[in-house]
Amino acid sequence: MVLKLYDTLTRPAKPQPFRPIDPKNVRMYVCGPTVYDFAHIGNARPVIVFDVLFRLLRHLYGPEHVTYVRNITDVDDKINARAAERGIPIRQLTEETYANFNADVAALGCLPPTVEPRATEHIVEMKTLIERLVTNEFAYVAEDHVLFNVKKMPDYGRLSKRSLDEMIAGARVEVAPYKRDSTDFVLWKPSKPGEPAWPSPAGIATPGRPGWHIECSAMAWKHLGETFDIHGGGIDLVFPHHENEIAQSRCVFHTPVMANYWMHNGFLQVEGEKMAKSEGNFITTRELLAEWPGEVLRLNMLRTHYRQPIDWTEAGMRESKRTLDHWYELTDDVAPGYLCADMHDAVSDDLNTPKALAALHELRSEAGKGSKGAAAGLKASAHLIGLLQMTTRQWAAWRPKSLAIDKAHVECLIEARNAARKAKNFKEADRIRDELKAMGIELEDKPDGTTIWKVRR
């Protein structure tokens, strides 16, 4: 089956066949992290989803014929604010966050993208684009800012399906006074002393810094060209980020499209609620990786189709772990065999990973009945989506970080606490609970015993 993808821009009734501009160089850009804090589990979703697509494209066109660009946003007001809050230099914050991000996504079994450009290393390209937009009157200078003049682009709003009138009506009341229209957006802005700054374009004397949207237009241009095949990111980026990337790139290059396929992953929520620091259900990828092997996170993510919202649950993680335990057991010492056709067709159908996993479950039951071919097929097919990358022995030896340190001691304390509870010495039981809590371990008491339910980092 040929690869079919769903394009957010044209919103077809069904996913459409994918036709690359140049099959010898299939080009994909995905908006990467803004590096100021640990990636949360929602941020891991686009990384995993587009890694599956990257692997599939490499399989279909050959690894050397795919260019995958995922940027690093290392200049942003959130970064400035966090560095000031922590009292550390911006560069230290961005380097530290990037290193953490890299370690996390490697643990999730993601291949490194072909290029990982940093915004701060593409200021020259951003300024070139801005200068051209000003020259062609798509942008204007006002009070040391450069703004994109949205009214100059008649079909602005096509990606997010918003009309200009709707956007004007929806604009906030306090519109910056230097904007000609409330919908105009910043390409460049002046920096105050102490903020990151570069010499400004378009004859502006005050040093400044780029807006977020122009960063991606410039990096995509530099590494993929004026138009390319696929542009991806989370659904929250459709407006304004991707809408504005399209406006900038198309107006600079006078092209009908920026990318031919716009792909967006749905949002992730936790145990039925929006993930937010204020809700207390904010989970970083790092803390999950301390408790679970990365493949459990990956499998759990792929059980939901990428365009659907996903509800992240502890129960789902446990089930994903059991599935992988079983698969690893069945594929011990098995060399990868033939890729299963049903699996291949499902992934090729707009990354239908739930259907692909159903095909893997079929193979698992055949393998369970003793079919060596099915076990070999299971391994090869799981590889296509980045699963079963360890040996069975490595898998079996995996231990949660926190438990690996002091497992025996923790078990001893739990036992002592159970004994104290039995003897109705609740004071001692509480003391032990607190001791464990101080070690980052929280307990749940059930009628049939005590289990560790959360290891905090």
With tokens 């000031």, the residue in question is 84
Footprint (CB under 6 A) of ligand AMP, residues 28-57: 31, 33-34, 42-43, 45-46
Residue nearest to ligand AMP (CB): 234
How many Cβ atoms from other residues are within 10 Å of residue 170's Cβ? Answer: 10
- Told to check if 196 binds ligand AMP by CB under 6 A, we report no
Asked whether the beta carbons of 304 and 268 are under 8 A apart, the reply is no
Residue 94 interface partner, choices Zn ion, ligand AMP, none, CB cut-off 5-8 Å depending on type: none
Asked whether the beta carbons of 305 and 352 are under 8 A apart, the reply is yes
Select the span of 25-33, 59-67, 288-296, 310-318 touching Zn ion (CB under 5 A).
25-33
Strands (DSSP E) contained in 385-448 are 441-446
How many Cβ atoms from other residues are within 10 Å of residue 12's Cβ? Answer: 11
Cα Rg, the chain, nearest whole Å = 25
Asked whether the beta carbons of 156 and 240 are under 8 A apart, the reply is no
Residue 72 interface partner, choices Zn ion, ligand AMP, none, CB cut-off 5-8 Å depending on type: none
- Told to check if 119 binds Zn ion by CB under 5 A, we report no
Return the structure tokens found at 38.
């640990």
- Told to check if 275 binds ligand AMP by CB under 6 A, we report yes
Return the structure tokens found at 340.
């299963």
Residue 56 interface partner, choices ligand AMP, Zn ion, none, CB cut-off 5-8 Å depending on type: none
Q: Which amino acid is at 100?
A: N
Residue 216 interface partner, choices Zn ion, ligand AMP, none, CB cut-off 5-8 Å depending on type: Zn ion
User: Contacting Zn ion (CB under 5 A), which of 57, 110, 119, 216?
Assistant: 216
CB closer to ligand AMP out of 265 and 284:
265
* 3-state DSSP assignment of residue 222: helix
CB closer to ligand AMP out of 113 and 234:
234
Query: At closest approach, how far in Å is the CB of 106 from ligand AMP?
Result: 17
- As a whole number of angstroms, the distance between CA 454 and CA 307 comes to 30
Query: At closest approach, how far in Å is the CB of 440 from Zn ion?
Result: 36
Query: At closest approach, how far in Å is the CB of 197 from ligand AMP?
Result: 22
Residue 275 interface partner, choices ligand AMP, Zn ion, none, CB cut-off 5-8 Å depending on type: ligand AMP
Query: At closest approach, how far in Å is the CB of 48 from ligand AMP?
Result: 10
Residues composing the chain: 457
- As a whole number of angstroms, the distance between CA 12 and CA 135 comes to 36
Using the 8-state DSSP alphabet, how is residue 340 labeled? P
CB closer to Zn ion out of 216 and 252:
216
- Told to check if 267 binds ligand AMP by CB under 6 A, we report yes
- As a whole number of angstroms, the distance between CA 13 and CA 124 comes to 41
Footprint (CB under 6 A) of ligand AMP, residues 202-241: 233-234, 236-237
Residue 301 interface partner, choices Zn ion, ligand AMP, none, CB cut-off 5-8 Å depending on type: none
Return the structure tokens found at 393.
């022995």
Backbone angles phi, psi at 369, to 5 degrees: -85, 0
Residues within the interface to Zn ion (CB under 5 A): 31, 216
Residues within the interface to ligand AMP (CB under 6 A): 31, 33-34, 42-43, 45-46, 233-234, 236-237, 265, 267-268, 275
